[in-house]
Amino acid sequence: MSVLEARDLSVERDGREVARADHLALDAGETLALLGPNGAGKTSLLLALASLLPSRGELLARGEPIRDVLAYRRRIAVVFQRPLLLDRTALENAMLGLRLRGIAAPDAKTRARAALERLGVAALAHRDAARLSGGEAQRVSIARALALDPELLFLDEPFGGLDAPARERLIADLARALREGAPRVATIVVTHDRDEALALADRVAVVMAGRVRQQGRAAEVFARPIDETVAAFVGVENVLPATVERATDEITTLRVGDALVFVTEPPPAAGDGVLLLIAPDDVVISRQHGSSSERNALTGRITAIESIGRRVRITLDCGFPLVAHVTHQAARELSLAKGETVTASFKATVPHLLVRGRN
């Protein structure tokens, strides 16, 4: 039975629907990421799921309609993007929710200390909140929520205001805290960042233009986007028109530009005109022409090289445009440069096929 389930959930503001989920469910111990661009309606959806924003439709907790909203709110905890701490110590802030719920001070202190330990800030228990860094303050805010032992934890862009090092450390520690809890707390986290979703979530729901467009296991959604719009958002840069040459039970052969590409996925039933989707991280660049053991090994000329954070984006002309992502170290070791010819290879199990024009 789902811990939380939404059916035909709709949020309106000024007479306009800003968020909608036809069906969304969260199982016990599961982390679900509401993933989408800024302004997509993710926060509105999260607040509606937490019964903090008026909505239409049906919300069920453990299979029963939520009728007593106050009782439901006592079973949940919410953490917002900006930590909301009082002018007290970190420990007193972590105890605050427990004290407001009538928990005696000694028990509240024990539970708050344990939560601070889980978030790696137990050593800061007696530091004033005003002297905490942004990352430390957010850790205390999350610890305050976890100290409540909620049935449901709602996190709204909890890393949004942090610098990169603090953000990365907090993501790792929060992922560990959520997975090592006994029992694990069911969690919904709002994020616009694909890496955050992959690091934290068991499942993702992609929210675009106010609607849940696709949901499923995180790896599956990223590898098998349902349409071109979702594909673009989850980072599948290679969306290539292709024609089915032939298909057997084991291999589909596609013509892309002047090249043949082999995939294990059967072609869509709607016809021969398809889109071939390949994530840039799945394309391997090498200097050894014709030596790849992969089913697909294409010769290509580098037309562009650009740094994108921790990766380097390589654009190739293989008779069609193909984008690959490599590490900075790999780019240096291969001495990649614009105008040079390399081999781009990828497994036949990697590509995903869509009906052309589906959106």
Kindly report, residue by residue over 219-245, the tens digit of the pLDDT.
899 989 999 999 999 999 999 999 999
Cα–Cα distance for residue pair 340/329, rounded to 1 Å? 18
pLDDT of the residue at 192: 94
pLDDT of the residue at 181: 73
Note the maximum CA span of the chain.
Answer: 74
Q: Where in the chain is the domain with CATH 2.40.50.100?
A: 237-355
At 266, the amino acid letter reads: P
- Which residues contact residue 124 at a Cβ distance below 8 angstroms, ignoring those fewer than 6 apart? 90, 116, 132, 136, 140
pLDDT of the residue at 322: 96
Cα–Cα distance for residue pair 5/26, rounded to 1 Å? 6
Cα–Cα distance for residue pair 2/29, rounded to 1 Å? 10
Q: Please give the angle made by the CA atoms of 307, 299 and 315, to the nearest 5 degrees.
A: 20
Is the domain spanning 4-230 CATH 3.40.605.10? The answer is no
Place of tokens 């106050």: 70
Q: What is the mean pLDDT of residues 151-180?
A: 92
How many beta carbons lie within 10 A of that of residue 65, not counting itself?
Answer: 10
358 pLDDT exceeds 70? no
Q: Where in the chain is the domain with CATH 3.40.50.300?
A: 4-230
- What are the structure tokens assigned to 145, written together? 């929520």
Give domain 237-355's CATH architecture. Answer: Beta Barrel (2.40)
Q: What is the DSSP string of 259-276?
A: EEEEESSPPPTT-SEEEE
**Phi then psi dihedrals of residue 256, to 5 deg:** -125, 110
Q: What is the mean pLDDT of residues 295-318?
A: 94
Q: What is the mean pLDDT of residues 62-75?
A: 94
- Which residues contact residue 268 at a Cβ distance below 8 angstroms, ignoring those fewer than 6 apart? 274, 353, 354, 355
Instruction: With H, G, I as helix, E, B as strand and everything else as coil, classify residue 335.
Output: coil
Cα–Cα distance for residue pair 316/338, rounded to 1 Å? 9
Q: Which residue has the higher pLDDT, 359 or 319?
A: 319
Cα dist. 86→96, 124, 140 in Å? 9, 15, 11
pLDDT of the residue at 8: 97
The terminus-to-terminus CA distance of the chain in angstroms comes to: 32
At 230, the amino acid letter reads: V
pLDDT of the residue at 270: 57
pLDDT of the residue at 291: 55
